[in-house]
Amino acid sequence: MTATHKTAIALTIAGSDSSGGAGIQADLKTFAVLGVYGASVVTALTAQNTHGVSAIHAIPAEFVAKQMEAVFSDLDVSAVKIGMLAQRDVIEAVAEGLDRYPGAPIVVDPVMVATSGDVLLEPEAEAALTSRMIPRATLVTPNMPEAARLLGTTEARNEDELCSQAERLMQLGPKAVLLKGGHRHTNEAVDILFDGSDLVTLRASRIDTAHTHGTGCTLSAAIAAGLAQGRPLIESIREAKWFVSAAIRAGMELRVGKGRGPLDHAGAGQLRWGHD
- Interval 107-153: pLDDT, tens: 999 988 766 566 677 777 889 999 999 999 999 999 999 999 999 99
Contact 192, 159 (CB under 8 A): yes
Q: What are 228-261's pLDDT values in tens digits?
A: 999 999 999 999 999 999 999 888 888 898 888 8
Catalytic residue among 43, 46, 141, 212: 212
Catalytic residue among 12, 30, 43, 215: 215
* For residue 2, pLDDT beyond 60: no
> Has residue 1 got a pLDDT over 50?
no
Q: Dump the DSSP string for 202-220.
A: EEEEPP--S--BTHHHHHH
Q: What is the mean pLDDT of residues 10-28?
A: 96
Q: Name the catalytic one among 216, 226, 261, 269.
A: 216
Instruction: Show me where the domains of the chain are located.
Output: 9-270
Query: Is 163 noted as a catalytic residue in this protein?
Result: no
Q: Distance between CA atoms of 251 and 267, rounded to whole angstroms?
A: 8
Phi, psi angles (nearest 5°) of residue 263: -75, 165
* 8 A C-beta contact, residue 216 and residue 143: yes
Q: Which one of 21, 81, 217, 218 is the catalytic residue?
A: 217
- Topology adopted by domain 9-270: UDP-N-acetylmuramoyl-L-alanine:D-glutamate ligase (3.40.1190)
Residue 10 pLDDT > 90, yes or no?
yes
pLDDT of residue 186: 67
Supply the pTM of this predicted model. Answer: 0.93
Give the chain's count of helices (H) and strands (E): 9, 9
Told to judge if 138 belongs to the known catalytic residues of this protein, a careful annotator would answer no
Please compute, for residue 265, the number of CA atoms within 13 A of its CA located in the half-sphere on the CB side: 24
Is 55:49 a contact under the CB 8 Å cutoff? no
For residues 226 and 239, the answer to whether their CB atoms sit within 8 Å is yes
Mean pLDDT of the chain: 91
20 belongs to the catalytic site: no
Using CB atoms within 10 Å of the CB of residue 103, give its burial: 0 to 12 exposed, 13 to 18 middle, 19+ buried: exposed
Annotated catalytic residue 215: yes
User: 201 an active-site residue?
Assistant: no
Q: What's the mean pLDDT in 183-211?
A: 84
| 35 is an active site residue | no
Say whether 271 sits in a helix, a strand or coil: helix
Choice among 29, 81, 180, 241 that is catalytic: 180
Per-residue pLDDT tens digits for 64-112:
999 999 999 999 999 999 999 989 999 999 999 999 999 999 999 998 8
Closest CA to 125 of 144, 141, 111, 105: 111
* Spatial CB neighbours of 163, under 8 Å, sequence gap ≥ 6: 192, 194, 199
In total, the chain counts a number of residues equal to 276
